[in-house]
Structure 1
Amino acid sequence: MTTRSATMIEKNRPFSPFEFMVAWRYLRARREEAFISVIAALTLTGIAIGVATLIVVTSVMNGFRAELLDKILGLNGHFTVFPIEEQFEDYNDVVLRMEEVDGVTSVVAFAEGQALASGVGQSTGVSVRGMALSDIQKLPSLPNAAILGGFDGWDDSRGVAIGIRLAQKLGVSIGDPVTIITPDGVVTPFGTTPQIRSYPVTVIFELGMVEFDSFFVFMPLQQGQDYYQLYRDVLKDGQEPLPLDATDEQIDAAYERIYRVSALEVFLDDPDATTAMRDPLQLVAGRPMIFTDWQRRNETFFSALQVERVVMFVILSMIVLVAVFNIISSLVMLVKEKNADIAVLRTIGATRASIMRIFCMTGTAIGVAGTLIGLVVGLVVAANAENLRAWISDTIGIALFPPEVFFLSELPSKTDPVEVTFVVAMALILSFLASLYPAWRAAQYDPVEALRYG
């Protein structure tokens, strides 16, 4: 037996079958080494939990950012363009010129203002946006978000579209009237009177983002222009001024109404190309314009999200780090327990490098097993994050991730293969590094001293 072992050691090479065999024997639990085996199992579990937690948290935060970005840019453009100095009456020409620029997907015009919406005994502040059907169909999210009613015949409907949460707050449904109130009404000798009008609800939509579903009211473009008085009446060409006693029919026939809009939304092929696209769009606009991109509008929010993501990753990495440190303690105890075995191996010809590789493989195997288990568990949980959230919420009766706080009605998850690879590589490298010191200590044992006092 001794001769055979010596032959195996003499012919061994780095990570030889002999070293794998000894490392595997040290990993198997025996009755007298139960305490060491328990520590190794707890270490493996800790690494698995840490890796799984990192994968789940990064996936949820990636999904959260991607979903928010998709919702925000599904209704608001990559650029919001406001006119300077002159009233925005030539918006149709500007839209056509901008849509011809390479990299521009679409451009939509809208009339917007703030108002108070009232339903059945409830009132709330809203943003009222007038848009033509042709522009609504250019939006990525809104056309397919209708859950009650529809946008057919929208321009002539004289109704409004509201979000599902706003409809619930106001207590209205399809066909019910919603009263829109704005303080900027008709100017009279006694001051400005509020503008109060009622519109039937023709569409109820659900975009999946609480802010949009509870704050926006859409109406046909001309209806919004009339409501916010975004127009001016001018005499038609060749028309003589009317007498003071002219009838309403004469006034309507003599004057032409010229409409304007509040701003434009510009949608790009590449959301990150705003810097490169700003100058070409400004050039074709043909007039001074203010361009506000989505990154600037949401800079604080997405910066805070990025900081939170990095901080969470660092904090959760500590779980893996603590578990990896347990590899050191379990291997140190294993080395103390196996000092006599080490002496025998050295006596029959095992080199210090061979002993070091044996214990490195033992510690690294714990890390590899824990990492693989954590990888599988993390990917499964990340893929079913929303189902698990709903099940836990129903089980304990408490709303986890309430949409009023987290903006989204569902818990999103998006697994990034690069980040998963980084997490796995980090766990494996830390496991290997944690095995080096105990393995080096084992290789330094003097076989004579170990046999004398072992």
Structure 2
Amino acid sequence: MAETKQKAGGMFSAVERWIAGRYLRARRQEGFISVIAGFSFLGITLGVATLLVSLAVFNGFQRDLLSRVLGFQGHLMVFSPNGPFVPPADDMRRLSALPGMAGVMPAIDGQGLLSIRDYAGGVLVKALNAADIARRPAFAGSLKQGTLPAGDGVAIGAKLAERGGIKLGDRITLLSPRIGTEGAPRSRSFPVVGILALGVSEFDATLVLMDLPAAQSFFELGETITTLELMLDDPAKAPGLHPAVSVSLSEPLLAQDWQQVNGAFFSVIETQRNVVTLILAMIVIVAAFNIISGMIMMVQDKGREIAILRTMGAGRGMVLRIFLLSGASIGIAGTAAGVALGVLASHHVEDVRQLVQAVTGTDPFNADIYYLSTLPSWTDPVQVALVALSSVALSFVATLYPSWRAARLDPVEALRYE
């Protein structure tokens, strides 16, 4: 038999594909080889799927947390090293005129002690002008009950309201860390007009949001503020706009972008993602080693058939392609199944979390530990493509040595002991 000619536009001929398929569908007495191939397929499927789900969860966690944190604190923050300050009008005009600037918002960030009935706890007090609060999606889009704060009214986090048994219309007492004129901490009563579900555990458990003039009066700051929050059309442009913001400021005012403020925190998330990715990638590598062992056993088992093919005129190239196709088919099929399973699971990861919680009675994603109240996920198409291509390439490499051994098999030696 002359070596089969390759079909135009295809790497493998129909005969090679047919023989490779027969080798994968082992007979009953060769079932062990089929079992190894099945485990290789399953290993690649689970490895790829688990890797994609993990990447999607890390992506979603970082993306969701970043959007919520930036919505709470601003994209660039202007402050004075000397403490509270009055923002110069010229600085405000220059900042507002910068390209990509969506808002320049005076703010106060402080701490206090909230008490109501038999509950008391520390809180974070944040204040903006009522109009600016309404413009911030992080606050306007998180309103669970009531209205946004204006005048003397305040809005509090949903978890804080739950812990303190606080309802709309209740009056809370805030104690300021500043010492008043009488030598005691200043206290003031505020009506609760809104309850916010921000989706970040720390904020939901400690936030008291109020109108800027009310906070200035409570903290006895007069016309001063603690921070000037700059909101951009695109938060990613904050580092690039940082130099222009700094040039626009009068001394001694300074500016920080969100990456400087939160850099260490998000760096930890990135490091954890890289470590988990490396660990889970080992599953795919182990599955590739299974392909190597399975293919070597197949070569040994099919020695007689290989010898017959060679004596009928099949060249080494044809034998090489047959075994390459057999091994690569396992990797391609496993990768395709893993991608489908991984993408599907990534879109329902929160449903899985709720199911696990309902069955076990424990929450595997505790909001007090992981900041967010739900398990987010976001599938990056580029990452999916990279994982799939890497898995297929690894599977192909794993078939090279066994295929080379098959092609180098001496038909005389193979048939001598048959």
TM-score band by shorter chain is over 0.9
Residue 260 (structure 1) shift: 1.6
Which amino acid letter does the alignment assign opposite residue 129 of structure 2? A
Give the aligned partner of residue 182 of structure 1.
Answer: 176
Q: Any residues of structure 2 matched to 1:395-434 within 5 Å, and which?
A: 395-434=359-398
Give the aligned partner of residue 210 of structure 2.
Answer: 219
Which amino acid letter does the alignment assign opposite residue 155 of structure 1? A
Cα distance in 1 for residues equivalent to 2:166 and 2:198: 18
Residue 373 (structure 1) shift: 0.6
Bigger drift between 359-368 and 170-179 goes to: 170-179
Q: Any residues of structure 2 matched to 1:25-424 within 5 Å, and which?
A: 25-84=22-81, 88-90=85-87, 94-151=91-148, 154-156=149-151, 158-188=152-182, 192-231=183-222, 259-424=223-388
Residue 421 (structure 1) shift: 0.5
Which amino acid letter does the alignment assign opposite residue 36 of structure 1? I
Q: Closer, same or farther in 2 for the Cα pair 1:63/1:90, shift >3 Å?
A: closer
Cα distance in 1 for residues equivalent to 2:200 and 2:276: 24
Which amino acid letter does the alignment assign opposite residue 83 of structure 1? S
Residue 211 (structure 1) shift: 1.2
Cα distance in 1 for residues equivalent to 2:294 and 2:241: 58
TM-score normalised by length of structure 1: 0.88
Cα distance in 2 for residues equivalent to 1:11 and 1:33: 30
Which amino acid letter does the alignment assign opposite residue 159 of structure 1? G
Q: Indicate if the aligned counterparts of 1:91 and 1:261 stay in contact, CA closer than 8 A.
A: no
Give the aligned partner of residue 252 of structure 1.
Answer: none
Q: Secondary structure at the match of 1:356?
A: helix
Which amino acid letter does the alignment assign opposite residue 314 of structure 2? A
CA root-mean-square deviation: 1.6
Deviation readout 1:305-363 (Å, 9 max, x if unpaired):
11111111111000000011000111111111100000000000111111011001000
Q: Secondary structure at the match of 1:80?
A: strand
TM-score normalised by length of structure 2: 0.96
Q: Closer, same or farther in 2 for the Cα pair 1:92/1:135, shift >3 Å?
A: farther
Cα distance in 2 for residues equivalent to 1:284 and 1:175: 43
Cα distance in 1 for residues equivalent to 2:292 and 2:356: 36
Deviation readout 1:2-61 (Å, 9 max, x if unpaired):
xxxx25x35346511111111011111311111111111111000000000011000110
The structure number with the bigger radius of gyration is: 1
Which amino acid letter does the alignment assign opposite residue 195 of structure 2? I
* % identical aligned pairs: 40
- Provide structure 1 residue ranges, at least 5 long, that are not aligned to the other structure: 1-5, 232-258
Q: Secondary structure at the match of 2:111?
A: strand
Which amino acid letter does the alignment assign opposite residue 117 of structure 2? V
Deviation readout 1:224-252 (Å, 9 max, x if unpaired):
10111111xxxxxxxxxxxxxxxxxxxxx
Which of 11, 25, 32 pairs up with 2:5?
11
- Provide structure 2 residue ranges, at least 5 long, that are not aligned to the other structure: none
Give the aligned partner of residue 401 of structure 2.
Answer: 437
Deviation readout 1:287-311 (Å, 9 max, x if unpaired):
4311122111111111111111111
Q: Closer, same or farther in 2 for the Cα pair 1:268/1:12, shift >3 Å?
A: closer
Residue 375 (structure 1) shift: 0.7
Residue 274 (structure 1) shift: 2.8
Which amino acid letter does the alignment assign opposite residue 227 of structure 1? F
Which amino acid letter does the alignment assign opposite residue 221 of structure 2? L
Q: Secondary structure at the match of 2:103?
A: strand
Aligned residue pairs total 415
Q: Indicate if the aligned counterparts of 1:183 and 1:193 stay in contact, CA closer than 8 A.
A: no
Cα distance in 1 for residues equivalent to 2:397 and 2:265: 38
Residue 285 (structure 1) shift: 3.0
Q: Indicate if the aligned counterparts of 1:95 and 1:108 stay in contact, CA closer than 8 A.
A: no
Q: Secondary structure at the match of 1:115?
A: strand
Q: Indicate if the aligned counterparts of 1:19 and 1:358 stay in contact, CA closer than 8 A.
A: yes
Q: Indicate if the aligned counterparts of 1:282 and 1:288 stay in contact, CA closer than 8 A.
A: no
Cα distance in 2 for residues equivalent to 1:183 and 1:22: 81
